[in-house]
């Protein structure tokens, strides 16, 4: 095996982790899922999940990655627990699954850069979305997006990923910030803020009955799996990405500090995107929840059509979203590529291209019809993501506890109390939270009146 690459600088790792975390998950999924599943209630559950489950789970992935210095699958063997390899495999499979439709949405973004420059969507934003989001054009753009991803990953860790992300992080914040301020001045935005920011406490309820199997009802039944998995998706958890990135990190770095930076920053970007998109939906009289996967694209396109210099602003905005999407997508592909490079001595460029091709094929249904995209997405949220994170937590909590605490404390000035508290949190509350999420997801997927597992054929 050749000498393994490492991040050139400490900031390189944080930036790459933030670059992986900040992506379509924050800018596209978060506002769309929030407006679909209960507005402010969703936000509350999401924030609790990001801090209460996401942060401890991210530390677990960081520990596995840094301790093993290996890719997400081999890591478990190296730590002496071969039988837990399935957790790594499940993570990689989840990443594969998600990247297949992530890339389709990345293709839409590409299309919208062009559409902004020419003003193609100005006349009929909703009609335009319908036209470009599915069918041959969407397929071609999905291919183009995958080609970009492969090209960056083929370049290797330092060259490709580190450089691409340095530029993206600040520009996203600035553009979203300016847009948020502009939206604030629009008439009709006010109800959007209350929908997004002031939760109706009566919707925070969940009841369970046993007959003899447990079955859940109440508004949270649907909100919890989507909001908790949104936190996983958005923090790049349960897909081996953070394990892989942390495997390139040195022992002198505080994993704890790094994870807090990523979680806080990532949630802030999501909320900022929500502050742009959700009030805009209200300004345009679009019922929240009716926008579906097109919410971001339709609402912003309408806004750019009205803005002075809308073409320029639109093109710049979608260009930045593209960079965010790319930096996330490369971390998904990197997971599988690093496995092949570590184990089979595969050559980076070839293996990146081969795997990119497979992911493209898996994404064809989603590019052809958005009903398929929604189906892929639901399966990821309601089953794959919580299951995969559950595996990580079980491993760290109940199998690899003590050495994990030691590894966590390496490079940090914190006392061992913090590490032990983390471990107990992982073993108990955090684990139960994920089990509940999974149970609720499985209920709607398999046991509801119209089980969501049925594919849209």
Q: Which residues bind ligand PHE (CB under 6 A)?
A: 20-21, 23-26, 95, 233-234, 236, 239, 241, 328, 331-332
In the bound state with ligand PHE, the residue whose beta carbon lies nearer, of 273 and 426, is 273
Nearer to ligand PHE, 44 or 389 (CB): 389
Nearest alpha-carbon partner for 197 in 25, 46, 53, 381: 46
Q: Which residues pair with 210 in a beta bridge?
A: 214
What does the H/E/C string look like for the chain? CCCCCCCCCHHHHHHHHHHHHCCHHHHHHHHHHHHHCCCHHHHHHHHHHHHHHHHHHHHHHHHHHHHHCCCCCHHHHHCCCHHHHHHHHHHHHHHHHHHHHHHHHHHHHHHHHHHHHHCCCCCCHHHHHHHHCCCHHHHHHHHHHHHHHHHHHHCCHHHHHHHHHHHHHHHHHHHHHHHHHHHHCCCCCHHHHHHHHCCCHHHCCCEEEECCCEEEECCHHHHHHHHHHHHHHHCCCCCCHHHHHHCCCCCCCCHHHHHHHHHHHHHHHHHHHHHHHHHHHHHCCCCCCCCHHHHHHHHHHHHHHHCCCHHHHHHHHHHHHHHHHHHHHHHHHHHHHHHHHHHHCCCHHHHHHHHHHHHHHHCHHHHHCHHHHHHHHHHHHHHHHHHHHHHHHHHHHHHCHHHHHHHHHCCCCCCHHHHHHHHHHHHHHHHHHHHHHHHHHHHHHHHCCCCCCCCCC
Contact 328, 102 (CB under 8 A): yes
CB of 63 to ligand PHE, least distance (A): 18
Which CB sits closer to ligand PHE, 23 or 115? 23
Shortest spacing between CB 58 and ligand PHE, in angstroms:
11
By C-beta, is 220 or 243 nearer to ligand PHE?
243
Cβ at position 241, least distance to ligand PHE in Å: 4
Smallest distance, Å, CB 413 to ligand PHE? Answer: 29
Residue 298 Cα distances to 127, 137, 176, 288, 318, angstroms: 9, 18, 16, 12, 13
Instruction: State in angstroms the smallest separation of the CB of 162 from ligand PHE.
Output: 16
Minimum distance from residue 408 beta carbon to ligand PHE (Å):
22
Closer to ligand PHE at the Cβ: 106 or 310?
106
**Shortest Å distance, C-beta 234 to ligand PHE:** 4
Q: Which is nearer to ligand PHE, 133 or 234 (CB)?
A: 234
Residue number with CB closer to ligand PHE (125 or 363): 363
Closest CB to ligand PHE among 183 and 239?
A: 239
- Cβ proximity to ligand PHE: between 236 and 444 the closer is 236
Nearest-approach distance from CB 298 to ligand PHE, in angstroms: 20
Contacts for 277 with CB less than 8 Å, ≥ 6 apart: 31, 32, 35, 295, 296, 299, 300
Rounded to a whole number of angstroms, the minimum distance from the CB of residue 345 to ligand PHE is 25
Q: How far apart are CB 328 and ligand PHE at their closest, in Å?
A: 4
Residue nearest to ligand PHE (CB): 25
Q: Which one, of 397, 256, 245, lies nearest residue 330 by Cα?
A: 245
Provide, rounded to whole angstroms, the least separation between the CB of residue 432 and ligand PHE.
24
Give the nearer residue to ligand PHE in terms of CB position, either 239 or 298.
239
CB distance 229 to 382 below 8 Å: yes
| Separation CA 241–CA 227 (nearest Å) | 20
Minimum distance from residue 109 beta carbon to ligand PHE (Å):
11
Q: Which is nearer to ligand PHE, 299 or 328 (CB)?
A: 328
Pick between residue 236 and residue 338 the one whose CB is nearest to ligand PHE: 236
């Amino acid at each position: 095996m050749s000498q393994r690459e490492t991040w050139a600088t400490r900031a390189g790792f944080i930036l790459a982790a933030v670059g992986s975390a900040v992506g379509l998950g924050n800018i596209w999924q978060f506002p769309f899922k929030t407006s679909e599943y209960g507005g402010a209630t969703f936000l509350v559950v999401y924030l609790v999940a990001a801090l209460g489950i996401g942060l401890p789970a991210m530390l677990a992935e960081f520990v596995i990655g840094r301790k093993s210095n290996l890719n997400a699958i081999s890591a478990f063997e190296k730590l002496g627990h071969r039988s837990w390899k399935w957790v790594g495999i499940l993570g990689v499979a989840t990443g594969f699954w998600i990247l297949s439709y992530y890339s389709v949405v990345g293709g839409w973004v590409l299309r919208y850069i062009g559409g902004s420059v020419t003003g193609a969507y100005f006349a009929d934003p909703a009609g335009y979305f319908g036209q470009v989001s599915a069918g041959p054009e969407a397929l071609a753009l999905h291919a183009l997006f995958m080609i970009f991803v492969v090209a960056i990953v083929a370049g290797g860790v330092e060259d490709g990923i580190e450089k691409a992300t340095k530029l993206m992080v600040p520009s996203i914040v600035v553009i979203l910030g300016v847009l948020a301020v502009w939206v604030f001045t629009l008439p009709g935005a006010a109800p959007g803020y209350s929908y997004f920011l002031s939760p109706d406490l009566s919707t925070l309820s969940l009841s369970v009955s046993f007959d003899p199997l447990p079955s859940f009802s109440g508004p949270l039944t649907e909100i919890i799996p989507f909001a908790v998995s949104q936190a996983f998706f958005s923090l790049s958890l349960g897909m081996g990405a953070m394990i892989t990135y942390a495997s390139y990190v040195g022992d002198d770095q505080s994993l704890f500090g790094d994870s807090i930076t990523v979680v806080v920053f990532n949630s802030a970007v999501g909320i900022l995107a929500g502050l742009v998109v959700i009030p805009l939906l209200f300004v345009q009289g679009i019922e929240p929840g009716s926008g579906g996967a097109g919410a971001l694209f339709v609402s912003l396109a309408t806004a750019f059509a009205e803005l002075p210099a809308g073409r320029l602003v639109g093109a710049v905005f979608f260009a930045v979203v593209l960079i965010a999407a790319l930096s996330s997508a490369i971390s998904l592909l990197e997971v599988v590529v690093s496995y092949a490079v570590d184990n089979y001595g595969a050559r980076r460029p070839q293996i990146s291209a081969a795997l990119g091709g497979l992911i493209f094929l898996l994404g064809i249904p989603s590019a052809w019809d958005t009903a398929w995209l929604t189906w892929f997405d639901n399966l990821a949220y309601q089953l794959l993501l919580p299951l995969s994170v559950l595996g990580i937590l079980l491993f760290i909590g109940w199998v690899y506890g003590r050495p994990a605490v030691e590894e966590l404390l390496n490079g940090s000035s914190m006392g061992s109390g913090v590490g032990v508290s983390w471990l107990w949190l992982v073993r108990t509350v955090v684990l139960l939270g994920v089990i509940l999420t999974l149970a609720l997801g499985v209920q709607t997927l398999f046991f509801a009146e119209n089980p969501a597992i049925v594919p849209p054929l």
